[in-house]
Amino acid sequence: MKKHLCILTLLLCTVAAVRAEEEPAVAKAVPVETRDITTQLQIFLDQQLFGPGAIDGRPGEFVGKALKRYQRSRGLPDTGVLDANIPLDSVFPVYTFYTVKAEDFKFVGPLPREPKEQAKLKKLLYPEISEFIAERYHVTPTFLAKLNPTVKLGGLKAGDTVRVPNVEPFVIESLPDQGLLPEVSEFLTRVIKIHRGNKMLEVYDGEKLIASVPITPGIKGGGAKETPAGKWKILGIATAPTFRWDKGVLEHGKRTENFYTLPPGPRNPVGVLWIGLNKPGIGIHGTSSAWTIGRATSHGCMRVGNWDVVRLSKLITKGMAVEIE
């Protein structure tokens, strides 16, 4: 793995050097660090709906997978290697700034560890304003801290400014109220394909690949329940879902009377949106920890970052086919 990272880093540096030589003699700031080029690539893929996972400025598994799928969608050789066919210059500037608003703090609140205590709350919110900002800009908290070395992220207040990746923000306050999304008839012929081994979800419109995102599936031997292979249908897409926390279900796949109903919110275990399938208890959903996507296992469902699952919901509809392999 380290060898692969070194190779990709070398390639990124080479591309940066070539771009620097070809850059016209005009006053324009360009990325000069490998981290900046990698972040620029991650932002580009994110913008094209080929999600690389949480942006962290580091080359890695899901950057390569997203790049391959973008290349395939454009009829390019799917090498997974950054080259001149990838219009990185469309991402400029690489970083921007976010000014904290007073109303942002309505999404921040206490987050006890135990389900019993969580069930007593009205909503499961971000425990820190820095987590609100990190998820808004699809970035890991660690990378957010690296982008703001002189800022005390734990003590942010309204009016403070934070440096962030230049992505389309996940605007949680614009999400619809609790309910089901309407059916979109023109999407019914589309297909979601889940690759458990690759930990990837792809959306096809006919033969054309139009989007992909990394997922955390349930893998045999890696959790209490394996994500079931087969051909399924989307029964419905629910916003602001609650979650029935049942230790028997999570550990053994069987319902018990010892459960808690956890309220909606960005730190609900199924995140901000639930895509239910015609397989009881199985769905595609958001998560309370987007930076672990693809690097853990689930209890049978398919976890997706909150920003990705909301964008995914705009491409799919009730009644669509879902193929899991």
Give the pLDDT of the chain (325 residues) as one tens digit per residue. Answer: 444 444 444 444 444 433 433 333 333 444 546 678 999 999 999 999 999 999 999 999 999 999 999 999 999 999 999 999 999 999 999 999 999 999 999 999 999 999 999 999 999 999 999 999 999 999 999 999 999 999 999 999 999 999 999 999 999 999 999 999 999 999 999 999 999 999 999 999 999 999 999 999 977 654 457 889 999 999 999 999 999 998 876 766 678 888 999 999 999 999 999 999 999 889 999 999 888 897 766 667 999 999 999 999 999 999 999 999 9
- pTM here is 0.86
Q: pLDDT at position 114, please?
A: 96
What radius of gyration do the chain's Cα atoms show?
A: 20
Residue ranges per structural domain of the chain: 2-78, 99-174, 179-324
- Annotate 120-152 with b (16+ C-beta within 10 A) or e (fewer): ebeebbbebbbbbbbbbbbbbbebbbebbeebe
What is each CA distance from 99 to 52, 83, 116, 263, 301, in whole angstroms? Answer: 25, 35, 35, 29, 36
Q: pLDDT at position 280, please?
A: 87
Q: pLDDT at position 26, please?
A: 33
- Compute the distance between CA of residue 52 and CA of residue 302 in angstroms, rounded to an integer: 16
Q: Three-state DSSP class for 309?
A: helix
Q: pLDDT at position 218, please?
A: 79
Q: pLDDT at position 256, please?
A: 82
CATH 3.40.50.2000 holds for 179-324:
no
Residue (of 129, 186, 222, 135) closest to 316 by Cα position: 186
Q: pLDDT at position 319, please?
A: 98
Q: pLDDT at position 4, please?
A: 44
- Compute the distance between CA of residue 114 and CA of residue 28 in angstroms, rounded to an integer: 51
State both tokens at 216: 């955390």
Helix (H) or strand (E) holding 118: helix 115-118
